Amino acid sequence: MQQMETEAMVRYELTKEDLVLFNLYHLEHSPSVRARQFRIMAVIFVLGIAAFVGGLLLPPRYRMLCVGGVSVTGSVFFMPSSVRRRVRKTTEEMLSEGRNKGMVGLKQITLVPAEIRVVGGLGSASFAWPVVERIVRDANALYVYVSAVAALIVPRRAFATPEEFEAFSAAACRYQAEAATRSK
């Protein structure tokens, strides 16, 4: 990362794996996705308990409902890992459908007080800080959300040290906060 008084810049290679990790992060942290998963898991759990209890209360020839009820109820605990595997596989399949020249490859992100600039792939873009909805750091990357479902992805590996990553992240958060203060 190169840094001047009011500018922070990083160059890196964005990979398909970075995009997969972002999709997994978003899946696990999206309130609407989590609410939907909870509703599905609750229905499965209730049906499983109902089958189990029904199997106990019905004549002996229906006791297999107990086994089915336990199986269905137990599946609720394995659902999150199954969903993660499915999202990973689906994202990887979609990314292999094209060349993705504009998405993966060399990127340069520059942070300045007025905007965040992205150069790479087949072009460039800039986003005024008020457009940034949120900035998230996780174990793999910095995600600068420019909409509810899209983010600029800056992998931690783009930085030589964790301190450089933290400095870049802090600059992004500072510029976003300053922009929010100016727009009030």
User: Could you state, in order of their start, the residue ranges of all structural domains in the chain?
Assistant: 2-16+102-182, 23-95
Among 23-32, 43-52, 140-149, the least confident range: 43-52
Average pLDDT over residues 116-121: 92
Q: Above 60 in pLDDT, residue 5? A: no
Q: Which residue has the higher pLDDT, 36 or 129?
A: 129
Q: Above 70 in pLDDT, residue 123? A: yes
Question: What pLDDT, on a 0 to 100 scale, did the predictor assign at position 184?
Answer: 62
Please give the backbone phi and psi of residue 23, each rounded to the nearest 5 degrees, phi first.
-60, -40
> Quick one: tokens of 45?
């759990």
Average pLDDT over residues 59-76: 69
Q: Above 70 in pLDDT, residue 9? A: yes
Q: Which residue has the higher pLDDT, 80 or 133?
A: 133
Second-level CATH architecture of 2-16+102-182: Roll (2.30)
> Quick one: tokens of 157?
């590996």
